[in-house]
Structure 1
Amino acid sequence: MPWELLSVLGIGLLLGFRHAFDPDHFIAVSTITSRTGNVLKATVTGIYWGLGHTLTLLLVGMPFIALKTGIPSTVETAMEVVVGLMLVLLGWTTFRSFQQRRTPDFEEAGKSEKGKWDSDKKTNLKSFLIGVVHGMAGSGALVLLTMTSLESLTEAVLYILVFGSGTILGMGMFAVLLGFSFTYAAKRFQKAERVIGMAAGAVSFLFGFYYIQAVLF
C-alpha cells in the first residue's frame, strides 16, 4: 500500500475521531446515554451511534463518489434541518421522561429481565437511527473530501471505513466517560440521575432550535 494512501487513511482516522465530538453529535449521544444507567450500556449506545453514522456515510456517499458529483446543497440543508428537529424531539422526550420520575429507579422498578432487555434494544436502535440521520447530514463534506483526495472507488470505500472507525472509536470513548460520570453522580447524589437527565434533555432541545436557525439563517 503506497505511503501516500496510508497517510491519507491515517488522517481520515483522526478526522473521524474528531468528527465524533461535533456539538450535535455529542449532545445527542449524551442525551441518550443519560437514560442507560451504567457504563457498559452507555458504551454500547455510543458504538451503535457510530455504526449507524458509518453505514450511512458508506451507502449515501458511495454513489455520489462513483458518479464524481457532489450532494446538492438543498439536500444537505434539508438534512441539517432534520438533525435539528431530531435534537428538539430527542430533548423533549428525554426531559419529559426524567421529569415524570418519582425516584431514581422509577423506570427500573417492576421491570422483568425481558423488559429491561427490550428497553436496551430500543435504546440501541434509537442510537443507531440517530447515527443514520447524522451520517446523512454529514455526507456532503466527506464526499467532496474523498473525491479530491483519492483516485479509485476502492480507496474511497477504504477511506470511509477508516473514517467511520475513527468516529466509532471517538464516540465509544466519549460514551465510556459519560457512563462513568452519570453512574458516579447517581450513586453519590440523591436524585442526580433525574437532574442530569432533565438537563441533558433541555440542552438537546434548545440546541436543536439553535442548530436549525444556524443552518437556515
Structure 2
Amino acid sequence: MELGIVSTLIAGLLLGIKHSFEPDHVIAVSIIASKSKSLFRSLLAGVCWGLGHSFVLLMVGLLAIVLKFQIPPKIESGFEIAVGIMLVYLGGSSLFAMNRRSGYLSLDKVNNMIYAKSIAIGGIHGLAGSAALTILVLSTVDDAAVGALYILVFGAGTIIGMACFTTALALPIVLGRTRLNIGKALEFTTALVSLCFGGYYLYCHV
C-alpha cells in the first residue's frame, strides 16, 4: 500500500475520533449513556452509536464515490433539522420520563431499546454529516476501494471515540452511585442540555 494512501487512512481514523466528539453527537449519546448502570452498557451504547453512524456513512459514501452522487443542499439542511428535532425529543422525553418513575425504570431495564436508540441516533447523525465527509473523500482519493476503506477507517475512529466518551461518562455514575444520586443529576443535566441545544440547533438551520 502506498505511503500516501496509508497517511490518508491514518488521517481518516484521527478525523473519525475527532468527529465523534462534536457537540450534537456528545449531547445525544450522553442521554442514553446516563441511563446505564454499568461501564459495559455505556461502552456498548457508544459502540452502537458508532455502528449506526458508520453504516449510513458507508452507504452514502459509496454512492458518492461510485455514482459521483452528492447530497443537494436542501436535503442536507433537512437532515440537519432532523438532528435538531431529535435532540429536542430526546431531551424532552427524558425529562418527562424522570417525572414518571415507571417510565424511567422501563428505559433502564430494556437494554435492547437503549442500544437500538443508539444505533438510530448514530444513523441520523451519519446522514446529517455525510455530505462533508463524502466531499473530503472525493477530494483525496480516486479509487472506489480506497474510498470505501477510508470511510470504514473513519467509522472505526468514530466508534473508538464514542466508546471512550460513553465509558468515561458512566465512570462517575458507577463509582459514586452508593454515596450520591449522581445518575439522576447527570440524566437531568444531559436532558436539559439536549433540549436547549436542540432548540438552538433548529434555530440555526431552519
State the TM-score, normalized to the length of structure 2: 0.94
Deviations 1:50-75 (A, max 9, x none): 00000000112211221224211111
The alignment yields a C-alpha RMSD, in angstroms, of: 1.6
Letter in 1 for 2:33: T
* Unaligned ranges ≥5, structure 1: 109-114
Letter in 2 for 1:10: I
1:153 is aligned to: 144
Counterpart secondary structure, 2:177: helix
Structure 2 residue 105 is the aligned partner of structure 1 residue 107: yes
2:72 is aligned to: 72
1:201 is aligned to: 191
2:93 is aligned to: 93
Q: Distance in 2 between matches of 1:205 and 1:186?
A: 25
Runs of 4+ residues over 4 Å off in structure 1: none
Counterpart secondary structure, 1:188: coil
Conserved? CA contact 1:95–1:199, under 8 Å: no
1:133 is aligned to: 124
Deviations 1:19-52 (A, max 9, x none): 0000000000111111112211101000000000
Q: Distance in 2 between matches of 1:131 and 1:202?
A: 20
Structure 2 residue 61 is the aligned partner of structure 1 residue 61: yes
Deviations 1:60-95 (A, max 9, x none): 221122122421111110000000000000011111
Cα offset, 1:98, TM superposition? 2.0
- Larger deviation, residues 168-177 vs 63-72: 63-72
1:36 is aligned to: 36
1:211 to 198, 201, 205: 201
Q: Distance in 2 between matches of 1:36 and 1:133?
A: 22
Question: In the comparison of the two structures, how many residue pairs are matched?
Answer: 204
State the TM-score, normalized to the length of structure 1: 0.90
Cα offset, 1:155, TM superposition? 0.5
Letter in 2 for 1:166: G
1:122 to 108, 113, 118: 113
Deviations 1:167-197 (A, max 9, x none): 00000000110110222343321x3322221
Percent of matched pairs sharing the same residue:
38
Deviations 1:102-155 (A, max 9, x none): 9xxx727xxxxxx93xx0011000000000000010100011000010011001
Q: Distance in 2 between matches of 1:173 and 1:26?
A: 11
Conserved? CA contact 2:61–2:148, under 8 Å: no
Q: Distance in 1 between matches of 2:39 and 2:179?
A: 15
